[in-house]
Chains A and B, each alone.
Chain A
Amino acid sequence: MHGADDVVMFGMSPLWLSTAIFVAAYAVLLTERIHRTVVALLGAMAMVVSGILTQDQAIAGVDFNTIALLAGMMVIIAVTRRTGVFEFIAIWAAKRARAEPIGILILLALVTAVFSAFLDNLTTVLLVVPVALLIVDKLKVSPYPYLFSQILAANIGGTATLIGDPPNILIGSATGLSFNDFLLQLGPIALLLLVLVLLMFYGIWGTSLKTTPELKARVMRFDERGSLRDRRLLRQSLAVLGLVILGFVVGEHFAIAPGTTAMSGAALLLLLTGLGQDRRGQAEQVREALEEVEWSALFFFIGLFVIVHGVQATGLLERLAAGLMGVTGGDPMITAFTTLWLSAAVSAVIDNIPFVATMIPLVETMEAGLGGAAAAEPVWWSLALGACLGGNGTLVGAAANVMVAGLAERAGTPISFARFLLIGMPVMIASVALANVYLYWRHFL
């Protein structure tokens, strides 16, 4: 790797050149004019072609645990989705609420929060929101409380576990903090925030969401069993999903990283679904499952890892860390709280994945100055909480928000940026403030 004083292309020092590539890539990402995967790959290419990183160094900078975890879960979810079990649960929940509009709002938000704790948020909203829109259409009530509650529940639910949201996956992979660490540290605050948000929704819409007995009867006529398509596949998928979650919980005791667990689960599920099929049938099963993998997201991560590795190698992040330490005086509490609010503010307006990917080596660099890994742990939780909860701030704060907005628009009920801001921003500020109190209570009192 290069030192800060070496000269690479264009007569520039590696530090400045890598900074220029980093800033240019992030600036283009912000404009959203070019697909983010293309931007990340071009930025990564620039880091290698300009001589800042060799190809081997670039590959070494890719966190394959994260890639494996994402890809493995994508395969498992793609196969499980085909069984219709997620629609089954959403409709079952709506009927348990006796088709009462506010009850449906609360139960569907709970379903989304639980799903997004164990699946990725984007998949969750893609599974639940169309069902929610169909139900509110039948009930002839305003879809907006449902759309807003789905967004907030997805982001809060995703905060609770290591696999719930990409920032947590990145942080867990980089630090070695386990699935259980995430669940024990972030689960309680996520649960508290979810309860408070649902109480708020009950307070605002509890009495105004009204429908008629005839329209409720239309929803009660739904037969959730009709959504289950392949019982054998359902048993296989749920068994593998259960095993994978068990693997996340106990994996740390056997030194098995989450990426290995998820990939093993994906391989096992593909094996099970292919049993009893001829070669062509097996090939078809594998092809269908892999088609559902979001390759563009995986290549985005790969490109991003290389870009961040480039600025890390040339010392930019070291300098930024030193600057941040100067501001916080190396005090773990001030550093944690600064990280929390900074992460929330940034994540409310830009994609939190590149931000967290950049912050990780920055925090790693600060660890020694903060007093070691144990002293720096609250900073990691602050980064996770800030990045995940910040997503609730605006309609563009998280990929799930944008997905819900897209679904709402196609269903003929578009969500305006300002309308969401009126709910999302106060919820974000209040939840980050509560998270701040929680961190203080858990780590500094």
Chain B
Amino acid sequence: MLTCREVMHPTTTPLYADEPLGKAIDFIMERHMGLVPVVDRQERFVGFLSGERLMRALLPKHLTMVRGLDRMGYLRESREELRERLDELALRPISAVMESRAEVVYPDTPLIEAHTILADTQFVVPVVDPASGRLLGAISFFTILALLRGEPCWSDRLEHEHSAGKDA
């Protein structure tokens, strides 16, 4: 039986939930990553920060709050107004913007569980230690397809290119 342990890509993250979002934005822009796991100070997985969540947080809060406005077709904003909101956003903690309702799996969980989550709700499924909740790795459709095709997964390639770029 194929388990998550065999498929997962070992993952670490530099993003802690209590850090300012500005650090996360720097990281995302540097790595061109659309989805980054977030951990607490005990390295336990606590959520994902995604490009979607960032864009949502950058909208006027009156549009995104519960029972707020449906649309804002009348708003005509300047770059300066958007920039002001981004500056305010950068000071908020990552935990205020991240998606904390992500489903997780354990290393011994059958792969079909992670596969089902990928098919239904998430782009990436974190693999955590069942006892401590620490983030061990992640499974995405890339890791599954890369395993089946015997190729290094996308994040490995990116990591490789990144370090190659730095060396150069």
Contacts and interface: CB of A to CB of B under 8 A. Distances in A.
Interface of A: 84, 87-88, 91, 126, 130-131, 133-134, 137-138, 218, 221-227, 229, 403, 406-407, 410-412
B166 interface: no
B69 A87 contact: yes
A227 B62 contact: no
Q: Interface SS of chain A: helix, strand, loop or mixed?
A: helix
* Most B Cβ at <10 Å: residue of A130, A221, A412: A130
A407 B69 CA distance: 11
Given A406-B67, A411-B65, A134 B73 contact: no
B126 to A, nearest CB: 29
Contacts of B72: 134, 227
A225 B74 contact: yes
Q: Interface SS of chain B: helix, strand, loop or mixed?
A: loop
A2 B77 CA distance: 67
Interface in B62-96: 62, 65-69, 71-78, 81
B71 to A, nearest CB: 7
Size band of the B side of the interface?
10 to 19
B160 interface: no
A137 B78 CA distance: 15
Contacts of B66: 406, 410
A3 B63 CA distance: 57
B60 interface: yes
A226 B67 contact: no
A133 B72 CA distance: 13
A344 B66 CA distance: 31
A224 B74 CA distance: 5
A81 to B, nearest CB: 8
Contact of B60 (A84, A137, A226): A137
Nearest to A220: B76
Contacts of B162: none
Contact of B69 (A134, A224, A229, A403): A134
A227 B74 contact: yes
Given A130-B62, A137-B60, A411-B61, A222 B67 contact: no
Contact of A137 (B62, B67, B69, B73): B62
B74 A91 contact: yes
A410 B68 contact: yes
Given A134-B62, A410-B65, 15 more contacts: A84-B73, A91-B74, A130-B67, A134-B60, A134-B69, A137-B60, A137-B62, A221-B78, A222-B76, A225-B74, A226-B73, A226-B74, A229-B71, A403-B67, A410-B68
